Structure 1
Amino acid sequence: MPQPPRRLGAALLLLFIASGFAGLVYQSLWSHYLGLTLGHAAYAQTLVLSIFMGGMAFGAWLAGQRTVRWRRLLLAYAIAEGAIGLFGLAFHPLFLGYSALSQGAVLPLLGDGVLARLYPWVSGALLILPACVLLGATFPLLSAGYLRAAPADDGRVLGGLYFANGLGAAIGALGATFVLLPAFGMPGAMATAGVVNLLVAAGAWWVSRWVGEGTLPEAGHGERGAGDGGAAHLGTHTSPRAPGPGGALSRDEGEARSGGSLSRFLLLVAFASGAFSFVYEIGWIRMLNQVLGTTLHSFELMLAAFLLGLAFGGLWVRQRARKIADALLVAGVAQVWMGLMALVSVVLFAGTFDWVGWLMQALSRTPSGYALYSLGSAGIALLVMFPAAFFAGMTLPLFTMALLRAGGGESGIGRIYAANTLGAIAGVLLMVHVLIPLVGVRFGVTLAAVGDTALGFWLLARARTVLPSGRVLRWAAGCVAVLVLSVVLGRPDPRAQAAGVFRSGAPRLHHSAEVVYLRDGKTATVAVVRSGEGNSAAIITNGKSDAALVYDLAQAPRPDELTMVLTGALPLLVHPAPANVGVIGWGSGLSTHTILGSDRVERLETVEIEPAIHEGARLFGSRVARAYEDPRSHVIFDDARTFFAAGRRHYDVIVSEPSNPWVSGVASLFTREFYAFLRSHLAEDGVLVQWLQAYEIDDALVATMLSALLAEFPQAEMYLANDVDLVVVAYPQAVHAPDVARLEGEALRVELARTGLASAEEFALRRMGGTRVLRTFVDAYRAPPHSDFHPTVALRAPGTRFRGETSDTLQNLVDNGMPVLDILGERSPQPADAPILELPSHRFTRAHRGAVRLAAILRGEDAPAAAPGAGSLHAETLLGLSLLGPVRDVADWASAAAAVADATIGHLPAEDLRGVWIEPDWIDADVQPEAVRRLLDLYAAAAARDPAAMRAAADAALGLPDPLPLATQEHALVIAQLGALGEDDTAAVERLHRDYGVAIPSSERYRMVRHLLRVWAAQEARG
């Protein structure tokens, strides 16, 4: 005998919450998986959303056609959930096989044609379609089975199930990104969702036996087609009409019009309502990306906000279902309010820049601050999205109620659900491929809102309850007023859209900045902003500046120019014959322009996913002219994986310069799988040049990306482009010797010279080390190779961006002050007379020229002109304490000497340190206290790069009876360890650490240097 519906309902709602959780885990993970084949998170999200909804529509329709023939619907639901679970468990190995087949056989066979462009979309869709069909079948099966047990509670059943599924989906969206992916990676998260589905299947099977299913609709009262002219009923399970406000039973809507007409009408309305809702979802996400940042975290927070709105709309219907006498009337009102709230959301969006600005300024840049920022982001997303989504969540249960009460039968549940999900697909495609290109994101949302309100009034006109015409007219006038206000007040300041408030905390750019280009592309909103002086401009994607440069070569270069010119120059410097070049990412076009400055390049193909970036960067004019005008330059708007694989392309050089790894989808371009893919498309003597940002990221994440690169490229070198940009040159085989003679061409030489790249010495200055240095860095952080399927960078980089972290350990190895890389044989300092252009945004050039000035000061020579700095002040202090005979204040003298040593010894070769530390002219060493003599010996040995002398002098300094200042003690420890390494005594490095290092606090300058020396020694010991 069936159990009480309340207990049954609680069990089924819990099961459907779990089912919704698993379903959104799948959707989230499928976006990650298919992003690896489509190349951009936005495209992957669009495809997954379309196929997810389309498959569900087909599954819902199919199940709706079968429910009246099946006795045990809950058992059928259990079978569907079980099949989904098995698919989840099998998906990862299935995807690996699909990827290998696609990249290795299918795409090369298809070549460059349309089929190669369509293949990733079609094959990706087919890959997830079976599970989507099964997911779509679950709601009609469960709801119809539930309704058979509780026929009098159609509204409560439907609203409750919509709420349960939506709530579970919101939890799944957050759980996938914030819990499952960090803990288990994509394979483990997918398997977890599969296990959840299997548990749901087991629970549904148990409930099926518990309630004793087995009754079909009575003979003679079965399902009728829409064209039968009569009202179809659920037999003995037909729900009675709920009492209206006055207590009388409402008249069946089906008595007022033909069942077929109402059915077709509701299907059309459900389709349109679903389309408008998903236009909103895409539009809101695109708008809020400019405010919250295009990160994996922000996307899932926005998705959860949308799903929560839908869920609570369903809950409202569940709680009030018995009081709803005219479902079409309530649905019409909900549609009108949905449109109005969507118009209001546009106005709210315009104000979100100030809210996020306040949030950024109020929070500390700490992990807890980022947690609060995420909560604040969720609140902003809810404020913008929840109201309209709430009314959207009401509509589908109300449409289904109206159809059921008109005698639509069990199959009506599936048909309404299918129509709504088909509409969702149409909305996604309409927004991405029609509305955004034609009218932009904001007006796309506005047009959908107008459509929603019109749909609401159409529903009101078809409702059984006739509203007074005066009230309807007042509502219509109110809607027009809200529309006008939305259009007027909802226009955001272009300077706010380009400001990147989520990074800077400034809600808008300075009023002098001019936004000369602003366009909503299919994947991002792109702006070009000209400075107030009009002499420079930046191209900005979703608020994130991707490149900035000056218009006139006579002006000093911007930091980004140093990066882009070096990235373009390095392949020309190291490759003897770079005939065919592939570039990933257009940016400003300056890297492509630089490479084309060489006549040795025969063809250059630049792959860019967003056409608006290419269009906007054209405004940089002559600075990037070759990229646009040179016939060797070819731009392809596609995903690099797909394009490179099509036609079996092979290049002499591949340059990869994507955006920052915290940007959603970009981190997949820094994985072992992607580097293996790039290596397969390089010639045997090819070169990979990888741009890697060191700002808004920490050492550990840089290490895991370098670990991925080194796992596929056995040889690599690191260069510093500016203070915070790294460039890696990787080789599949032997390293090519650089040759500046290859940088031919007058125009190219002029462009290189202004960025400090006119000589071999300037390139050598920027080189930080080779493979051994990079492997030591990776080992120091015990960094596993970054993987497509364990997206550590995408998950952690948004937090490092918020905290404003910088990865500077590799830079500190070069300019810490001691000859670390000299002794390790990885780098040599440039001589004082080397033609080094000092650049404000390049720390190595500043350090080198600063060392030259300090050396001149200590030798009593005329120092090169420069503004007074900390180094000069320390040198003056050191001279003042040293020129009057024996040093009296040893501690002050030692501190000043340590500061000058940091600024000179590691930056100049031994011959340029004579008279400075080697046989110093500025101090009479013979009359000094023992501590001063020991320190002079210590720094002289380090300046001479003499390992034996370094070790002996360091031992003597560390053994002084009176402790030296901490900075000097740390110098002595590092010099002792370097001397030990220079003498191949690796065991002494760890012994020195135990005997002295544990007791000597680590400064920020030397903390990781000391750790890396120990790692290097351990590597040497292992052989």
Structure 2
Amino acid sequence: MAISTVLTAFMGGLALGSYFFGRMMDRQKRPLLYYGILEGVIGLYALIIPWIFSGLIPVYQFLWQQFHLNFYGFALLQFLLVTAVLIIPTTCMGATLPILSTWAVREKSTLGVTIGRLYALNTFGAVLGTALSGFFLLPALGVQHTLWIAVGINLLVALLILALLPRFPERPQVTESPGPKPAGKFLEATSGLLPQKVVWSIVIGIALSGFISMIYEVAWSRTLSLLVDSSVYGFTIMLTTFLVGIAIGSLVFSRWVDRVRHQGFIWGLMQIGIGVLAFLSLIFFQELPYLYLLLYQNIGQSINLLLLGKYLLAFFIMLAPTLLMGALFPLTIKICMSHLNQVGRLVGNIYTINTLGCIVGSFAGGFFLIPLIGIRNTILLGIGLNLLYGLYILLISPAPRPYLKRAAYSLTILFAAAIMAFPPEWKAPLMASGIYIYAHNFENTSRSDLLEMYSPQNEPLLYYQEGHTCTISVHKSKYTGTIYMKSNGKVEASTKGDMPTQVLVGHIPLLLAPKLDEILVVGMGSGVPSGR
């Protein structure tokens, strides 16, 4: 839930910044001046943000004492306060891509490659920041010093841009030039426009793509919290992997986007490809417990190697679908572009539409979909949307050959039918085994032994619920008869080993209390202290 709250608030600011500044930049002769100023504003705001958070604590306390909000009311309060804090810097961040696009694009024939590279460079920067802060800076320096480093980088970039501004006094004059020569069956110089119906369907589709990508991100994050760990490292692993895939996809595809023929047809194939690859990732997630165990058995003595191994596991499972997600953005820009004097407006609008989809997906995935239908079905929902919308775009778009459209349609429908007939299994006892904590108990365990130990027969589930904040499961061991409750795979209470502690939690306060007229139990937990 915390991830969904922060992502939603963060991306709301990005959408505002890209929309408003994108519309404004096409009229400016010196867009880099605004870029330098905005980088400075981000740095200065980040410098004071700890005091802003401190000032919100009394507000938080007052609102809670006055209204005693329920879960959803409290979540809404958190969202509004986080949004209020983040809206200024994130709006400035959202403005940077349309500003740089306005300045950098010189020719229509290189529109796609220029914007694709900018988008990729921006995302690679996000990867570097996420990885350095999550893996190195926060553990080594703490939150405050990490924040100061980020502030210093922002202010340094602002000063450099403003100092070098005289070398780029005005926006370069954009020119129309002939595109590159054709280079194969599916590549040619872009000419003409797709039918309006196709263009608008793709604009709607980029919002849907944002929605789907975020429900994947939230679902993958929750899955990794079960199989890798639920710490800041687990979230960093998921986020860096996601961003790396998007950056590489945008960078690689941007080399060809300006020469792609039958752009609508390719866009539809990409949507279908994302669905197919997301399905394969769901299959591979089932193998993560044993793969992690293999890592632990071979390199568990080195925490750094183990962390790298966990990252690589997540990276190779999630990389393929995120590559296509990254490729969609420059292709969409190229499809929608008609006039070079509207680059800022176009990039801002497309980025805004995509980000709005991301906001809805992040919010819906964390607050509604996973609690209502579970992680697996949330991923399957995303896969279904990818396939359906991809088929729709194929239907309305011109194809290189009619038989290619028929073949793509037939294969996609067969694939969807196979998923419905044979949905992937979600081995709940194994997924909630907490292998990232208890791997030392399975030093010489093979894959078949692990599957046998956590089969429904040997490890029956008494309760399993993927909630708003974590996954709770209650197991009963066939071998010992012990009943135990887990949160994200970690045992929190049991009927044997943990029972003395659970009983004492209820008894010790009673022994020390001067009077027993009223008793307050904070947190139900296993229920043992209250029952005693």
On whether the aligned pair clears a TM of 0.5, the verdict is: yes
Query: In the alignment, what sits opposite 2:157?
Result: 200
Report if aligned partners of 1:332, 1:459 keep a CA contact under 8 Å in 2: yes
Q: Aligned letter for 2:475?
A: V
Any residues of structure 2 matched to 1:836-875 within 5 Å, and which? none
Query: In the alignment, what sits opposite 2:464?
Result: 518
- What displacement does 1:321 show? 3.0
Query: In the alignment, what sits opposite 1:49?
Result: 7
- Deviation per CA, 1:883-942, whole angstroms, max 9, x where unpaired? xxxxxxxxxxxxxxxxxxxxxxxxxxxxxxxxxxxxxxxxxxxxxxxxxxxxxxxxxxxx
Select 2:191's aligned residue among 251, 259, 272.
251
Which ranges in structure 1 are unaligned for 5 or more consecutive residues? Answer: 1-42, 217-235, 550-557, 595-1023
- What displacement does 1:490 show? 2.9
- What displacement does 1:471 show? 2.6
- Deviation per CA, 1:276-308, whole angstroms, max 9, x where unpaired? 111111111111221112121121011111110
Query: In the alignment, what sits opposite 1:299?
Result: 235
Report if aligned partners of 2:199, 2:335 keep a CA contact under 8 Å in 1: no
Report if aligned partners of 1:539, 1:588 keep a CA contact under 8 Å in 2: yes
Any residues of structure 2 matched to 1:896-907 within 5 Å, and which? none
Query: In the alignment, what sits opposite 1:671?
Result: none
Query: Does the C-alpha gap of structure 1 residues 87 and 69 become closer, same or farther in structure 2, counting only changes over 3 Å?
Result: same
The answer to which of 298-307 and 236-245 deviates more is 236-245
The answer to whether 1:457 aligns with 2:391 is: yes
- What displacement does 1:83 show? 0.9
Rg (Cα) greater in structure: 1
- What displacement does 1:518 show? 1.9
Report if aligned partners of 1:244, 1:324 keep a CA contact under 8 Å in 2: no
Query: In the alignment, what sits opposite 1:376?
Result: 309
Query: In the alignment, what sits opposite 1:155?
Result: 112
Any residues of structure 2 matched to 1:173-212 within 5 Å, and which? 173-212=130-169
Query: Does the C-alpha gap of structure 1 residues 115 and 498 become closer, same or farther in structure 2, counting only changes over 3 Å?
Result: closer
The answer to whether 1:576 aligns with 2:487 is: no
Query: Does the C-alpha gap of structure 1 residues 578 and 116 become closer, same or farther in structure 2, counting only changes over 3 Å?
Result: farther
- What displacement does 1:470 show? 3.1
- What displacement does 1:210 show? 1.9
Q: Secondary structure at the match of 1:526?
A: strand
TM-score by length of 2: 0.90
Query: In structure 1, what is the Cα distance between the partners aligned to 2:188 and 2:214?
Result: 38
- What displacement does 1:502 show? 1.3
Select 1:435's aligned residue among 349, 363, 369.
369
- What displacement does 1:390 show? 0.7
Query: In structure 1, what is the Cα distance between the partners aligned to 2:127 and 2:118?
Result: 14
Query: Does the C-alpha gap of structure 1 residues 567 and 408 become closer, same or farther in structure 2, counting only changes over 3 Å?
Result: farther
Q: Aligned letter for 1:441?
A: I
Query: In the alignment, what sits opposite 2:33?
Result: 75
Query: Does the C-alpha gap of structure 1 residues 329 and 244 become closer, same or farther in structure 2, counting only changes over 3 Å?
Result: farther
Q: Aligned letter for 2:395?
A: A
Q: Aligned letter for 1:458?
A: Y
Any residues of structure 2 matched to 1:708-747 within 5 Å, and which? none
Report if aligned partners of 2:124, 2:243 keep a CA contact under 8 Å in 1: yes
Query: Does the C-alpha gap of structure 1 residues 423 and 88 become closer, same or farther in structure 2, counting only changes over 3 Å?
Result: same
- What displacement does 1:120 show? 2.7
- Deviation per CA, 1:228-279, whole angstroms, max 9, x where unpaired? xxxxxxxx545654443358644221xx534xx5654333111001111111
Query: In the alignment, what sits opposite 2:525?
Result: 587
Q: Secondary structure at the match of 2:485?
A: strand
Query: Does the C-alpha gap of structure 1 residues 582 and 70 become closer, same or farther in structure 2, counting only changes over 3 Å?
Result: farther
- What displacement does 1:320 show? 2.0
Query: Does the C-alpha gap of structure 1 residues 510 and 428 become closer, same or farther in structure 2, counting only changes over 3 Å?
Result: closer
Query: In the alignment, what sits opposite 1:102?
Result: 60
Query: In the alignment, what sits opposite 1:540?
Result: 486
- What displacement does 1:527 show? 1.4
Query: In the alignment, what sits opposite 1:86?
Result: 44
Query: Does the C-alpha gap of structure 1 residues 478 and 591 become closer, same or farther in structure 2, counting only changes over 3 Å?
Result: farther
The answer to whether 1:343 aligns with 2:283 is: no
Q: Secondary structure at the match of 2:34?
A: helix
Count of matched residue positions in the alignment of Structure 1 and Structure 2: 515
Report if aligned partners of 1:530, 1:536 keep a CA contact under 8 Å in 2: yes
Q: Aligned letter for 2:231?
A: T
Q: Aligned letter for 1:529?
A: H
Query: Does the C-alpha gap of structure 1 residues 172 and 502 become closer, same or farther in structure 2, counting only changes over 3 Å?
Result: same
Q: Aligned letter for 1:386?
A: L
Q: Secondary structure at the match of 1:518?
A: strand
Query: In structure 2, what is the Cα distance between the partners aligned to 1:117 and 1:170?
Result: 28
Please identify which structure carries the higher helix content: 2
Query: In the alignment, what sits opposite 1:356?
Result: 292
Query: Does the C-alpha gap of structure 1 residues 263 and 460 become closer, same or farther in structure 2, counting only changes over 3 Å?
Result: closer
- What displacement does 1:95 show? 1.3
- Deviation per CA, 1:771-814, whole angstroms, max 9, x where unpaired? xxxxxxxxxxxxxxxxxxxxxxxxxxxxxxxxxxxxxxxxxxxx
Query: In the alignment, what sits opposite 1:124?
Result: 82
Report if aligned partners of 1:71, 1:214 keep a CA contact under 8 Å in 2: yes
The answer to whether 1:146 aligns with 2:104 is: yes
- Deviation per CA, 1:23-44, whole angstroms, max 9, x where unpaired? xxxxxxxxxxxxxxxxxxxx22
Query: In structure 2, what is the Cα distance between the partners aligned to 1:263 and 1:472?
Result: 18
Report if aligned partners of 1:241, 1:325 keep a CA contact under 8 Å in 2: no
Query: In structure 1, what is the Cα distance between the partners aligned to 2:57 and 2:36?
Result: 31
Give the number of the structure with larger relative contact order, counting CA–CA contacts within 8 Å between residues 6 or more apart. Answer: 2
- What displacement does 1:495 show? 2.4
Query: Does the C-alpha gap of structure 1 residues 392 and 257 become closer, same or farther in structure 2, counting only changes over 3 Å?
Result: same
The answer to whether 1:389 aligns with 2:322 is: yes
| Identity in percent | 26
Report if aligned partners of 2:262, 2:399 keep a CA contact under 8 Å in 1: no
Q: Aligned letter for 1:390?
A: L
